[in-house]
Amino acid sequence: MSDDGPVAPRARAGFRFWLRILVSVALLAVLVAKAPDPEELVPDRHHVLTISLLAASLGTTFLGVVLSAWRWQRVLAVFGEHVPLRTLLGHYLAGNFVGNVLPSTIGGDVLRVTRVSAAVGSSSTGFASVALERLTGFVALPLLIFVGYVARPSLLDQRRAWLTLLIAGVTLALLGVVLYLAGHPRIAGRFAEHENWMRFVGAVHTGVDRLRRDPGQLVPVLGTALAYQVSVVVSVALILRALDLPIPLAGAFVYVPAVAMLQVLPLSFNGLGVREGALVLFLAPWPGVSNAQAIAVGLLWFFSTLVVSMLGAPAFAVGDRRHAPGRTPERTA
């Protein structure tokens, strides 16, 4: 390999990172240009209540991180591994700090895989646990959309209701394809005994196969996944209430998961611009909701995640010292 071999992938990663930054800036500039009245963002009354609701949203966001770590713990149990919740919470906070705060081309999931792999002694299990933990969200999010419509069927009469159902349907269809491929013994299963990088695919197959053979393990995995996604909905619902927007709680259960599924598309930096545009799409048709208010909901959602992610700085720093040169790292497969 030539000396500049590893440089090209790093250069491409850096290019994609800055391209996403530019896309976010461009999308936000277009949205802000269409929402020229920022004065309507601050409620005319109840300022103490507004601050209290925003603080409650921050607290619920942190609770969501705890629930995410719990979900991760239940997924690891599928592989026969038990890692203390406190340890996983530290890894999750550190991953969020890297993914949401640091201007890095390496995502937080990569850090989580590295650290949990050291804890369980297997890099393939670490990778599979993070991959499956992420996949559970794409089961929970469409379910919450259906829950919102069942709780308030009149939401189906709102403009673009069909779009939320389309997003849920497409997500479930894609998830079904992924799980079929991951669980098929002749597709992903044939890599289970490999020693090269394909063993990671085989490890995902092992997890899916164990869940298929023992459906009882699905209950805690999906239960914690639903609990986490509900916490996200409640956090955004508190922001909606803080801005005095007339969106019912059932509406939050419909729109927040739809936006969450759209913002994972690798188009912008941490979903900035995509999230705000989707909120304008779904919320602006409601009477009494302006484009500026819908954008504000997205930005407050982003900043609450950012503030909570900053709590991961100590966990990130401590982890770096633990794996500093001179220390013996834990064995990985």
Residue 126 CB partners (closer than 8 Å, separation 6+): 112, 113, 114, 115, 116, 117, 118, 119, 120, 332
Residue 190 CB partners (closer than 8 Å, separation 6+): 202
pLDDT at position 11 over 80: no
Angle at alpha carbon of residue 182, lines to 198 and 108, rounded to 5°: 70
- 136/229 Cα distance (integer angstroms): 10
- 197/279 Cα distance (integer angstroms): 39
pLDDT category, 42, cuts 50, 70, 90?
low
Number of Cβ atoms within 10 Å of the Cβ of 257: 30
Strands (DSSP E) along the chain, which ranges? Answer: none
pLDDT at position 110 over 90: no
Q: Which residue has the higher pLDDT, 194 or 164?
A: 164
Please check whether residue 65 lies inside any domain of the structure: yes
State the virtual CA torsion across 51, 57, 62, 65 in degrees, nearest 10: -160
Per-residue pLDDT tens over the stretch 126-147: 888 888 888 888 889 999 999 9
How much is the pTM?
0.82
Residue 182 has what pLDDT? 66
Residue 123 has what pLDDT? 82
- What's the number of CA atoms in the CB half-sphere (13 Å) around residue 178? 15
Residue 217 CB partners (closer than 8 Å, separation 6+): 74, 77, 78, 210, 211
Residue 170 has what pLDDT? 94
Please check whether residue 78 lies inside any domain of the structure: yes
Identify which of 24, 25, 139, 121 has the alpha carbon closest to the alpha carbon of residue 71.
Answer: 139
Per-residue pLDDT tens over the stretch 291-303: 888 888 998 999 9
Please check whether residue 333 lies inside any domain of the structure: no
Rounded percentage of the chain residues whose pLDDT exceeds 70: 72
Residue 153 CB partners (closer than 8 Å, separation 6+): none
Please check whether residue 109 lies inside any domain of the structure: yes
- 192/195 Cα distance (integer angstroms): 9
* CA-to-CA separations, 196 to 53, 58, 79, 205, in angstroms, rounded: 50, 42, 20, 15
Structural domains counted in the chain: 1
Angle at alpha carbon of residue 121, lines to 318 and 264, rounded to 5°: 70
Please check whether residue 306 lies inside any domain of the structure: yes
Please check whether residue 22 lies inside any domain of the structure: no
Greatest mean pLDDT among 121-135, 161-175, 178-192, 199-213: 161-175
Please check whether residue 275 lies inside any domain of the structure: yes
Q: In terms of residue numbers, what domain contains 245?
A: 46-322
Please check whether residue 168 lies inside any domain of the structure: yes
- Confirm if 297 and 283 have CB atoms less than 8 A apart: yes
